[in-house]
Structure 1
Amino acid sequence: MTASLVVLWCGGKCLMVFNRYRQAWELPGGMLDPGESPREAAFRELEEESGQRPATLDFAGAARTWYAPGRRFEYLAIYQGRIVSPLPFTPNDEMADSMWWDPGEDLADLHPIDAALAHLCP
């Protein structure tokens, strides 16, 4: 595994973060640090990118994706979790905003793969 993604739910809505560099809404997540497990990376990336700290994250599956700039396949661990009371979001160097998205509604600038993963991990 090279990266982890998190599908986090609160009251029927899924957490999305707005990536400053890609100018798109996406699921929180990122690359594993050396010696870090996929689950540890999921918790770390979720907190770094959104400020959220759920008690647990459950393994939901794995995905293989083509990373075009590096011309290679990457393998992603996907985790899902739930929270009752979201913590406030503070913008950071990577993420400009966060929102709780209703998958039944359109969201401009949402990566299709992130939307599909949210639908697969209800």
Structure 2
Amino acid sequence: MTERIVVVGAALLDGGRLLAARRSAPADLAGRWELPGGKVEPGESPRDALVRELREELGVETETVARVPGEWPLRSPYVLRVYTARLLPGSAAPRALQDHDELRWLAPDRIWDVDWLDQDVPAVRETLTHLDAHAG
């Protein structure tokens, strides 16, 4: 059995809004939206990987808050785990540096205005449930 490789996705939250990132590559994913993030490197914790990926992809300093329950299969052998995260005080605003050509902050009532990657849909849905449970 092949070992699973964990990909971390960030439910990056700010003022109750969720950050969505539009892929610019590879061609089969370009134009679709995802939660930013990336592969956990050997010897790296998922939380550390998320902070590193957000720094590399978006130029932001963040902290990981909590893991969203669940795990979603990507192309074998990858699996997606999502964590909520927030910008640290004084961090730059996110900008599309790698793999993305547009970023959008989505209020809860606008989450489905973008064309999410199929594998991100259940993760986004679970994230929203998680947010609703902790709202108020």
TM range (shorter): 0.7 to 0.9
Aligned counterpart for 2:24 among listed residues 20, 25, 32? 20
Which residue does 1:116 correspond to in 2?
Answer: 125
Whole-angstrom distance in 2 between the partners of 1:55 and 1:93:
20
The separation in 1 between residues aligned to 2:124 and 2:7, in whole angstroms, is 18
**Does structure 1 residue 96 correspond to structure 2 residue 101?**
yes
Question: Residue 56 of structure 2: which of 48, 52, 72 is its match?
Answer: 48
Q: Deviations over 1:10-63 (max 9, x none)?
A: 111001111102221110111112221111111111222222222443223340
For residue 82 of structure 2, the aligned residue among 78, 81, 86 is: 78
Relative to its length, the structure with more helix (as a share) is 2
Mapped to 2, the partners of 1:53 and 1:121 lie a distance apart of 23
**RMSD value, Cα:** 2.4
| Corresponding letter in the other structure for 2:12 | L
Unmatched runs of 5 consecutive residues or more in structure 1? none
Q: Do the aligned partners of residues 84 and 32 (structure 1) sit closer, same or farther apart at CA in structure 2, a change above 3 Å counting?
A: closer
Do the aligned partners of 1:11 and 1:84 also contact (CA within 8 Å) in 2? no
Task: Count matched residues.
Answer: 118
Q: Is the 8 A contact 2:13 2:85 kept in 1?
A: yes
Unaligned 5+ runs, structure 2: 132-136
Name the TM-score, length of structure 1 as normaliser: 0.77
> SS of 2:51's equivalent?
helix
The 3-state SS of whatever aligns with 1:43 is helix
Greater mean alpha carbon deviation, residues 50-59 or residues 83-92: 83-92
State, as a whole percentage, how many aligned pairs show the same letter.
25
